[in-house]
Amino acid sequence: MTTSLEENAIEESTTEENTTEENTREERSVKDRHSRREWRGVTLGLSALALTSLIGAPLRAQDQQGGQTQAQTQAQAQAQAQAQVGLHGSHTRAANPVVQRLIENSSLHFLAGEESFKDGNFDRARREYDRAIDIILESGLDVRTDPHLRQHYETIVENIFQRQMTLLVTAPTSVDPEGDSGRGFGTQAFSPSPLDELARIDLTTEETKGATAEQARESVVAAHLDFGFKPNALIQSYINYYQGRGRGTMEQGLRRSGRFMAMSRKIFKEEGVPQDLVWLCQVESAWLPNARSWAAAVGLWQFIAGTGTRFGLQIDSWVDERSSFEKATRASARYLRFLADRYDGNWELAMAAYNTGEGRIDAAIAKSGYADFWEIYERGLIPRETRNYVPNILATIIIAKNPQRFGFAVDPEPSLTYDYVKVNNLVDLKLVADATDASPDLIEALNPELKRGVTPPSSEYLLRVPAGKGRELHRALARIPVEKRASWRMMTANAGDNFETIARRTGLSADLLEEVNGGTIPTDRKIVVPVNGRVRNVVLTSARNDNDDEEQPVRRGAASKRDGATSARSGKVITYRVRRGETLGDIAGKYNTSVGTLTTLNGIGRGSRLRIGQALKVPVR
């Protein structure tokens, strides 16, 4: 993994400002402010009244900014009345006044988002929708334990999803540099987070029988961990679970972890967080940058929008840095460091708060009088998901540190390596794929935080491209006017091609092609195609030379990924049997093809859930 955002970056823009460094200073100031807060759990005594005032605080702060017009006040009163009725049309109020207040505050933001959506202000609508969800998730209440709160939450999530689907259907295919183009919610594809399954795990009698704290202690000693915690029999029970029916999940995580392990350990070390805690990522996302949970948490480290922005991640209509590799990892390390400082270095409590929020852990400690995870666990003061979460992570870390001891023999995938090209304007990722001889799926996978398939306008972005391809992209972009980089494309000319033959394939005039390419076909045979996103497919499938294997982002140890190519090159297709836990992305990566190719070849959708043993057609060399 490239060791920093600036290392090996190729300067494409003329701007000298180092916005990454400024963001780093700002993020560190957030950490410093929070780390000075000392934990006094026993005397905290969170009451329902205090919780209610906390929930209402964002609304009051918003109301104080510049005052309100009479029309705004009337609109808010109307929204308040509708919120009290309930978004699902029920006039039944929640029995718990704290829950009712929470529903009303969330509804106000959701209804404000609806108004913005109707007005066509999709960016503002997204912010209001995010706030409607964050108010609930940050409250410290378990959504699934109160029927009114759960119904409200499921209603707004479903409505927001429907709005997003509406935009994806109606949004234009081209990007307007000056406007929003109607895609304020983004076009990212997501995979389910393993957290959704975690809450449903019930350990069997076989898994818990005979499990003792002493066994867990022996496993901890053998693992040589870089942080301490109290061994518990439940940890051993989860070790038993992963050695049995959870084996496929563990093997998948051990394999995928290689992609991001070196990067994650480096960043955790820099932030003063135990490096072994990087395995939290396996339970959070199964090492998938596009993982999304039921609670709208996103990315490798599963940030909700509110916590993500709190720790310096940019979330807007162009970029969602919760899906970034490096920035989200650093934000996660800083959040864990903040939580550990809050709980006097107790990493079990820090992990529990990472999962369920510090407000809920604060309340549990205040109610029990013990700043101890296992005490609040035994007293049933935390949600089921969190009860499973901490011992699950500890078991995962113990196994991952010494997999052979527990019967696992898995070779991790090689680290992702790539070049950076610094841009400060709109660049379509399809153009990047053309210029670097990579598939669009690969470029999107290297830049998962980009929500709309283009880099953001008027702001600096470090674009990831396959290793060794950075200078090629830099040269290609220099040939295309800045204002055309979101629409023009490139293709690789075949041997013997001239502008006449290329014109016939692209539907453009030979004179125009000759003009924009300086009158000659370059030595690298890259031809600028001055058209919009509706360029003919021939541009994406033009012939390439025999050095195509060099286009992958993994420089070393990638033999397992290079034994396949597209069916367009060889015509050979094999039948592949799906293994436990595999996704289309995993299979595409093994055979150097794209998810799009697999879905087309097999007549399935991108979001299709694969079955163990399912037969898939896969193109190979």
Phi, psi of 209 (to 5 degrees): -65, 125
Say what the pLDDT of residue 460 is. Answer: 92
Residues 397 and 264 in one domain: yes
Residue 448 has pLDDT above 70, yes or no: yes
SS3 277: helix
Q: How confident is the model at residue 574 (pLDDT cuts 50, 70, 90)?
A: confident
Residue 88 has pLDDT above 70, yes or no: no
The β-bridge partners of 409 are none
Residue 264 has pLDDT above 60, yes or no: yes
Residue 36 has pLDDT above 80, yes or no: no
Domain end: 406, 440, 465, which one? 406
Residue 147 has pLDDT above 50, yes or no: yes
Residue 433 has pLDDT above 60, yes or no: yes
**Does residue 29 fall inside a structural domain?**
no
Phi, psi of 406 (to 5 degrees): -105, 15
Residue 443 has pLDDT above 70, yes or no: yes
Rounded CA-CA distance 553/616 in Å is: 25
Nearest CA among 618, 560, 614, 619 for reference residue 258: 560
Say what the pLDDT of residue 85 is. Answer: 45
Say what the pLDDT of residue 47 is. Answer: 30
Question: Would you say 164 and 185 are in contact if contact means Cβ atoms under 8 Å apart?
Answer: yes
Q: How confident is the model at residue 227 (pLDDT cuts 50, 70, 90)?
A: very high
Q: Hey, what are 608's tokens?
A: 């299709």
Q: Hey, what are 135's tokens?
A: 């108010």
**Does residue 215 fall inside a structural domain?**
yes
Q: How confident is the model at residue 201 (pLDDT cuts 50, 70, 90)?
A: confident
Nearest CA among 274, 346, 267 for reference residue 311: 267
Residue 548 has pLDDT above 50, yes or no: no
Q: What does each C-alpha distance from 112 to 41, 91, 251, 364, 546 come to in angstroms?
A: 36, 20, 45, 33, 56
Rounded CA-CA distance 376/369 in Å is: 9
Number of neighbours of residue 256 by Cβ within 10 angstroms: 24
Comparing 60-64, 105-109, 148-152, the range with the smallest average pLDDT is 60-64
pTM over 0.75: no
Question: Would you say 408 and 378 are in contact if contact means Cβ atoms under 8 Å apart?
Answer: no
Domain end: 186, 204, 231, which one? 186
Q: Hey, what are 205's tokens?
A: 């009698």
DSSP H or E segment with residue 421: strand 418-423
**Does residue 33 fall inside a structural domain?**
no
Rounded CA-CA distance 490/535 in Å is: 10
Question: Would you say 246 and 286 are in contact if contact means Cβ atoms under 8 Å apart?
Answer: no
Q: How confident is the model at residue 164 (pLDDT cuts 50, 70, 90)?
A: low
SS3 292: strand
Comparing 39-48, 118-127, 150-159, the range with the smallest average pLDDT is 39-48
Rounded CA-CA distance 513/496 in Å is: 16
Phi, psi of 489 (to 5 degrees): -130, 175
HSE (CB half, 13 Å, CA atoms) of 32?
A: 6
SS3 368: helix
Strands 9-11 and 526-529: unpaired
Residues 62 and 204 in one domain: no
Residue 587 has pLDDT above 50, yes or no: yes
State the CATH number of the domain containing residue 612.
3.10.350.10
CA dihedral of 289, 293, 298, 303, whole degrees rounded to 10: -120
HSE (CB half, 13 Å, CA atoms) of 256?
A: 24
HSE (CB half, 13 Å, CA atoms) of 488?
A: 22
Residues 44 and 182 in one domain: yes
Phi, psi of 421 (to 5 degrees): -125, 120
Find the mean pLDDT for residues 157-167: 66
Residue 566 has pLDDT above 60, yes or no: no
Residues 457 and 575 in one domain: no
Ramachandran region, residue 369 (left: φ > 0; alpha: ψ -120 to 50; beta: rest): left
Comparing 26-35, 137-146, 153-162, the range with the smallest average pLDDT is 26-35
Cα end-to-end span (Å), the chain: 28
HSE (CB half, 13 Å, CA atoms) of 293?
A: 26
| Residue 361, burial from CB neighbour count under 10 angstroms (0-12, 13-18, 19+) | buried
Rounded CA-CA distance 104/82 in Å is: 9
State the CATH number of the domain containing residue 247.
1.10.530.10
Which DSSP category does 537 fall into?
G
**Does residue 31 fall inside a structural domain?**
no
Residues 488 and 602 in one domain: no
Strands (E), 81-131: none
**Number of residues assigned to the chain:** 621
Residues 304 and 175 in one domain: no
Residues 169 and 144 in one domain: yes
Strands 615-620 and 572-577: antiparallel
Residue 53 domain boundaries: 39-186
Rounded CA-CA distance 381/368 in Å is: 8
**Does residue 15 fall inside a structural domain?**
no
Residue 394 has pLDDT above 90, yes or no: yes
Say what the pLDDT of residue 379 is. Answer: 93
Say what the pLDDT of residue 586 is. Answer: 76
Comparing 60-74, 199-213, 277-291, 457-471, the range with the smallest average pLDDT is 60-74
Instruction: Check residues 391 and 83 and name the one with the higher pLDDT.
Output: 391
The answer to whether the Cα torsion of 174, 178, 183, 188 is positive or negative is positive
Residue 70 has pLDDT above 60, yes or no: no
pLDDT, tens only, 72-81: 454 455 555 5
Comparing 201-205, 211-215, 573-577, 586-590, the range with the smallest average pLDDT is 586-590
Q: How confident is the model at residue 168 (pLDDT cuts 50, 70, 90)?
A: very low
DSSP H or E segment with residue 401: helix 384-401
**Does residue 113 fall inside a structural domain?**
yes
What is the count of structural domains for the chain?
4
Domain end: 132, 151, 186, which one? 186
Find the mean pLDDT for residues 582-598: 77
> What string of H, E and C letters represents the secondary structure of 549-606?
HHHCCCCCCCHHHCCCCCHHHHCEEEEEECCCCCCHHHHHHHCCCCHHHHHHHHCCCC
Residues 534 and 570 in one domain: no
Nearest CA among 232, 355, 377 for reference residue 283: 355
Rounded CA-CA distance 489/484 in Å is: 9
Residue 363 has pLDDT above 60, yes or no: yes
**Does residue 24 fall inside a structural domain?**
no
pLDDT, tens only, 94-134: 778 888 888 999 999 889 888 888 777 777 787 788 888 87
Residues 169 and 43 in one domain: yes
* Average pLDDT of the chain, as a whole number: 77
Residues 267 and 359 in one domain: yes
Residues 238 and 377 in one domain: yes
**Does residue 253 fall inside a structural domain?**
yes
Which DSSP category does 39 fall into?
P
Tokens 């994806």 found at: 168
Comparing 212-226, 439-453, 565-579, the range with the smallest average pLDDT is 565-579
Say what the pLDDT of residue 347 is. Answer: 97
pLDDT, tens only, 402-423: 999 999 999 999 999 999 999 9
Q: How confident is the model at residue 605 (pLDDT cuts 50, 70, 90)?
A: confident
Q: How confident is the model at residue 483 (pLDDT cuts 50, 70, 90)?
A: very high
Residues 176 and 312 in one domain: no
